[in-house]
Amino acid sequence: MRAASLARYFPAEGIRLDVLTARNASAVGFDPTLLKEIPSEVIVHRTLALDLPFGIKKQIKKLAGGRKPLKDSSAATPAAKPNFLKRVLQNLLLPDPQVTWLPVLTRAARRVVKERNIELILITVPPFSCVLLVEKMRKVFPGLAIVVDFRDEWLSTAIDLVGFGRTDRTFEAARNMEASAVAKATAVVAVTEASRRQIRARYPQAPDSKFHLIPNGFDATSLHHSGPLLKPRPDGKIVVTHIGTIYAATEPTALVQAVQSLPPELKSRFKLSFIGHIEEPRFREALLQLGDMVELKGFLPQREALATMDQTDYVLLINHDHLNVSGKFYDYVGAGKPILGCVHPEGETRRLFDELQAGWWAAHYDVEGIRQLFVDAAARGDSLHREFQPNTVKIAQYERRVLARRYAALLHSIVGK
């Protein structure tokens, strides 16, 4: 969505844009209606990728995993020696399965840069294997401006949460790949200030001016600013909706335990709706323990998913990550919906929660704290629209058109130099 929003708004900011992407990339879901939002003057180049179906990649990832995720990748401990199949997969697919796209990507990128007189290339990751393109392009175009856009902070969090392989060799390769890309890139952009500081701290020899922050945001044209419902439902039900993938960083166990511990009369009032892919069977099984309280709708096109917020009382946010902020957070605040958050208490999401006055939160591991969120939500009743007072001035700064203007100004300044 970040890349799509830039493609949508860059042309109005004086940027002639070419997009190079894969024709057959696998993903959790596809929403072709979003292509209608891309201006006709944007030229999209598509190449063939040696990419496997999403389900098969998930199975290979399970085979390739060499150790359990670590809280701090810098404190990595030696892993048990993987079997032969795991070693083969880990050695072939560094740092991720999409690395098989790199030879085709490199040839296509060189061709597009020459034929279209490109002045700057913006490489957005993940997939993190795309950072390898920096060195390959720098060899052929030594004066070309190259910007690396990290949608997730790689070495501190993403490699543990969603990394393909978790061996010592994988971590070492990732460190080397990032270091090479940062050294050869003209600029590095992060999506949170915490991530920017983390990346910048790893390369103290680089000038501070190389590292920039352009956060994610919401698209006002895709959202109906419904705000909180003005009156409780006649049946007394309270609908809480979660939009987005359930995976390691949004693991729902503590939430389930908290909701199950509610008194029966309160439990009967809540309806929890989950829209999006559920990555692991154990997460689905945990949610299904809530019985009639829960509804699992699966993947929906973006506009359809966002429209469900119109008739929900609260939106639900789960994020264990202390550096990265879920994209859904910005959609939630853009829609003006009060959030019940299960977040890292010292993380970037919690900071934004407080700054934007986005709702109410508890630590993602605090079962009693999460339970109290639901108790308070039930007690709030028709006072919700009075108690929920988001900071709309600060929220407006996260509209995608505004952010694209900031990003365009950065790119213009780089090319100007």
| Superfamily of domain covering 220-396 | Glycogen Phosphorylase B; (3.40.50.2000)
Q: Which of 126, 113, 162, 111 is nearest to 25 (CA)?
A: 126
User: Which of 226, 240, 309 lies closest to 270 in space, CA to CA?
Assistant: 240
Q: Is the pLDDT of residue 163 over 60?
A: no
Same fold yes or no, 2-217+399-416 and 220-396: yes
Give 54's pLDDT tier (boundaries 50, 70, 90): low
Kind plus residue range of the DSSP H or E element containing 20 = strand 18-22
Per residue in 203-217, pLDDT (tens digit) is 999 999 999 999 999
> By three-state DSSP, how is residue 342 classified?
strand
Which amino acid is present at 349?
A: T
CATH fold for domain 2-217+399-416 = Rossmann fold (3.40.50)
- Quote the CA–CA distance of 23 and 193 in Å, as a whole number: 33
CA angle 21, 27, 32 (to 5 degrees): 65
My answer on whether omega of the bond before 95 falls inside 30° of 0, hence cis, is yes
Residue 233: the pLDDT is 86
pTM: 0.86
Overall average pLDDT of the 262-283 stretch:
95
For residue 75, the model assigns a pLDDT of 38
pLDDT of residue 76: 40
- Tokens 């986005």, residue located: 358
* Mean pLDDT (the chain, rounded): 89
Q: Is 283 exposed, middle or buried (0-12, 13-18, 19+ CB in 10 A)?
A: buried
Name the band, by pLDDT with cuts 50, 70 and 90, for residue 274.
very high
Is the pLDDT assigned to residue 293 strictly greater than 70? yes
Nearest to 42 by CA among 75, 10, 86, 1: 10
Domain segments of the chain: what residues?
2-217+399-416, 220-396
Residue 230 has pLDDT above 90, yes or no: no
Q: How far is CA 286 from CA 155, 242, 260, 267, 282, in A?
A: 29, 15, 11, 16, 6
**CA–CA separation, 93 and 89 (whole Å):** 6
Q: What is the mean pLDDT of residues 106-126?
A: 97
**Confidence grade of residue 158 (pLDDT, cut at 50, 70, 90):** low
The band of 42, judged by pLDDT with boundaries at 50, 70 and 90, is: very high
Minimum mean pLDDT among 92-106, 163-177, 194-208, 384-398: which range? 163-177
- Band the pLDDT of 56: cuts 50, 70, 90: low
| pLDDT tens for each residue of 344-403 | 999 999 999 999 999 999 999 999 999 999 999 999 988 998 999 999 999 999 999 999
**Given a cut of 60, is residue 67 above it in pLDDT?**
no
Residue pair 310/224 in contact by the 8 Å Cβ criterion: yes
Mean pLDDT for the stretch of residues 220-228: 79
The answer, yes or no, to whether residue 322 has pLDDT greater than 80, is yes
Q: Give the whole-number percent of the chain exceeding pLDDT 90.
A: 70
Question: How far is it, in rounded angstroms, from Cα 155 to Cα 53?
Answer: 26
